[in-house]
Amino acid sequence: MMVWAAGLSGCAAGSDPVGASKASPIAPGVQTCRPDSALLAPQPAPDCGFVRANLKTLDPDQWARLKLAYELKCYKDAEKTVRNRLKLLQASCEVTSAQ
């Protein structure tokens, strides 16, 4: 009974949810940002772990340096990708004023 009463009160005169959105327009000159949905999708974490089996032909110290160099480059590349994506997102939301 309470649910029915609450639903009926939404139909009362003066409670127009559609008209309410029309009554409060966005301030003039302000644009809403509608970026590409691909830019808003969450990115997976970078997979920079070197999973290749340890080679017995390399010196362990040399192997560790090569592995670290690979992982460092991978994380740097992932950071560049994230920064480029952020720049695209910011550029899509910039307000350009025609003067």
pLDDT beyond 50 at 99: no
Amino acid identity for residue 46 in this structure: P
Q: Which amino acid is at 55?
A: L
Whether the predicted pLDDT of 14 surpasses 80: no
Please report, to the nearest 10 degrees, the dihedral formed by the alpha carbons of residues 48, 54, 60, 63 taken in order. Answer: -40
Instruction: Identify the residue with better confidence: 99 or 48.
Output: 48
CA gyration radius, the chain: 27
| pLDDT-based confidence at residue 96 (cuts at 50, 70, 90) | low
Residue spans per domain, the chain = 51-99
- pTM as predicted: 0.55
